[in-house]
Amino acid sequence: MGMVFSANRSSVLIDGEAVAGLQSLTYRVVSEREDVRAVGTRERVGVVFGLRSVVGEIVLKSVHAKLDTLLDQQTKFQIVASLKSGEAESDPKRSIAFDDCFVDGKAFLMEASGVPVTTYSFTATRVREE
């Protein structure tokens, strides 16, 4: 059975500080892969895996001074997302930690509603789910 988490009960921390105005946090795990080919055939006989990295984005209403500083200084940091489905202690929970993160870029958008939205892209060495 799947777990359903609530965005308004969950939180995201950057180096232990809560992120205000969070709209979304997305990530994907990327693995290098090389096919091992058999001589005389068009089929692969195996796969060799290499570097695994994590690529993600944090979208915020307005801007985030700490992320701006981390981008400018190219400093390593950690992101921890605490996912919750409800208030009760027995409700499902999950923690997702991104280790050794670096901010790679920043995109700014002023929407027609007048609320600025900033997207920070990041990479991480690993992601751990508990």
- Residue 27 CA to residue 20 CA, distance in Å, equals 19
Whole-number pLDDT of residue 88 = 67
B/e letters for 7-42, b = 16+ CB within 10 Å, e = fewer, are eeebebebeeeebeebeebebeeeeeeeeeeeeeee
pLDDT tens, position by position, for the chain (130 residues)? 567 887 878 899 999 999 999 999 999 999 999 999 988 888 999 999 999 999 999 999 988 999 999 999 999 999 999 998 777 666 778 899 999 999 999 999 997 878 899 999 999 999 999 8
Measure the CA–CA gap between 80 and 102, rounded to whole angstroms: 14
Q: Where are the domains of the chain?
A: 21-77+99-129
pLDDT at res. 115:
87
Residue type, 21: G
For the chain, the residue count is: 130
